[in-house]
Each structure stands twice: as C-alpha cells, then as structure tokens.
Amino acid sequence: MAFDPSTDTHATEFAGQLFFRLWRASHTRIAERLESFGLTPASFGVLNLLGKRDAAIQQEIGKAMGIDPSTMVALLDGLENAGLVTRRPHPDDRRAREVAITAKGRKALERGRKLNDEVEDEVLKGLSKTERRQLLGLLRQALVSSPSQPPWSSAEGD
C-alpha cells in the first residue's frame, strides 16, 4: 500500500517531520540546480539579500541570515573570487567591511531566483498562490517567535 501523507497522519503528525521532509524536497533540488553554475543555497541566499539592499555590512549579512562569522567570511571569499560581490572598507566605520553585489552577481542572482521559483513550483504544486503566500507568512511568523539558536556554520553542511 502506498504512503499517502494526507491520510497517514502518523507519519506526518509533527511540524518538525513536515519541515524536514519539505526542506529535503526543496533543498536537494535547488542545491543541484544552483551547483550547475557555481552557487550553493547559502551563497544564493547571500546574493539574494544583497540584491535587495545593493550593499550591506558583512556582519549584518551574517546576523540577518543566522550565519556565523567564519562561515560568512568563507562564503564571501567564494563569491568575491567568482566576481559576484566586492568588499570594501565601510565609508563611515573603518572596522567594518561593506559588501556589494556586482553586475555579474546580479545575473547569477536572477538565474538563481528563476531556478528557485521552479523548485518552489515543484515542491509546493499542491498549494494555490494564496496558500503559498499564507504559508510564507506563517513560516516567517514562526521563525520570529522561535527560540534563538546558534548561527549556522559550514560544518553543518549546506
């Protein structure tokens, strides 16, 4: 007998189980597609944040994304070496480094966004556009009110 998550609630009884299974479905697909042009989900996330802000202080990026400082440095090193971001001293704080997305980075970001949309369409095909917006809103609300956790490190995998 085939497993049906809509009727076999014992296998999908807890939110954590559902989060994990949906994360796997999404993460494995987007990671594979982003890898085709040299990005990871984490590096795509950094580009996405920078694409909304044009530039940001390196520490603020890590804090906003929940990434520890040494992992953030490694992510930015890779993005900078690929010509997708630049780092420069912050004009108002000589201790801070400002990170800006490059034109090449914007092209990679647009490609990544398109791939991300395709993956979300695959993974969430059972939801209407309204339900997807509601889901995102509820997930953001849950994230804001969830217990704090240590920043993500590359040792955990991407």
Is residue 65 domain-resident? Answer: yes
Q: Is the residue at 149 inside a domain?
A: no
Q: Which residue type is seen at 102?
A: T
> Closest Cα partner for 66 from 49, 85, 87, 79?
49
**Structural domains in the chain (count):** 1
> What percentage of the chain has pLDDT greater than the value 70?
91
- Residue 7 maps to a domain: no
The answer to whether position 21 is within a domain reads no
Q: Is residue 86 part of a domain?
A: yes
The CATH number for 40's domain is 1.10.10.10
Confidence of residue 158 (pLDDT cuts 50, 70, 90): low
The C-alpha atoms of residue 37 and residue 45 are separated, in whole angstroms, by: 15
Q: What is the pTM of this model?
A: 0.84
Structural domain boundaries, residue 115 = 33-142
Q: What percent of the chain lies above the pLDDT cut of 90?
A: 67
Q: Is residue 73 part of a domain?
A: yes
Q: Which residues of 142-155 are buried (b: 16+ CB within 10 A; e: fewer)?
A: eeeeeeeeeebeee
Asked if residue 9 belongs to a domain, the reply is: no
Residue 2 has pLDDT above 70, yes or no: no
Structural domain includes residue 152 = no
pLDDT at position 9 over 70: no
Query: Of 158, 156, 153, nearest to 62 (Cα)?
Result: 153
